A and B are shown apart, each in its own frame.
Chain A
């Protein structure tokens, strides 16, 4: 199993550009989530999904959209990138919401 994969590993955007961060898992996990990690702030939950077709907002959802059309994929879209979205983004999955989460390697995003 590849586990949780994220692409790209690094990305530089200009203010106002849009892009999609990809996340996929091959473990048939129902729960998937996106976090951002900033220095001194720990991990903050952006959006999560408890199953295909179901998504909900986390602590810091503004400026981000998600969809969950399949169990495997959970892309994160930045609608109009802002410098405040410069961060490291982690995707995670678990069999159910209360189970151990498996994390991807992260995407380091810089918005100029």
Chain B
């Protein structure tokens, strides 16, 4: 079964707004990764955050990790139409190091 699950399943916003999506997981992890998938393409890595980190930034992306709540969030600030994609979190499955993916959040940014 999938270790991580993203929420919401779908998100629709206007250009310029912020987009927040969450990932919850079941067992303790060493790291958590966020990926983006444009329609019909392979996944592209965004950010890796380790269990001893609480926050990481990359451009307009901000990822937080709360290990006590077993959850992570991805914030995209000042969204653009080009941010329209599906976003996935990847965590280790059940204590192993093997990464597994959730079902993803589908983000639509309207121009």
Binary contact track B18-44/A, C-beta < 8 Å → 1, others 0: 000000000000110101000011111
Q: How many residues of A contact B (CB 8 A)?
A: 23
The verdict on A100 contacting B98 (CB below 8 Å), with A42-B2, A90-B43 known, is no
A42 with B42: in contact, given A97-B98, A97-B99 (CB under 8 Å)?
Answer: no
B75-111 vs A: 1/0 string, CB under 8 Å? 0000000000000101011000111111110000000
Count chain B residues whose beta carbon lies closer than 8 angstroms to a beta carbon of A.
Answer: 25
* Chain B interface residues toward A at CB < 8 A: 1-2, 30-31, 33, 35, 40-45, 48, 88, 90, 92-93, 97-104
A25 CB, nearest partner CB in chain B, Å: 12
B-contacting residues, A57-112, CB 8 Å = 58-59, 90, 92, 97-106
Closest chain B CB from A90 CB (angstroms): 6
State which of A40, A48, A99, A102 has its C-beta within 8 Å of the C-beta of B98: A48
- CA–CA, A43 to B88, complex, Å? 9
Report Cα–Cα, A42/B92, bound state, in Å. 15
A6 to B31, CA, bound (A): 27
Please state if A104 and B98 are interface contacts (CB–CB under 8 Å).
Answer: no
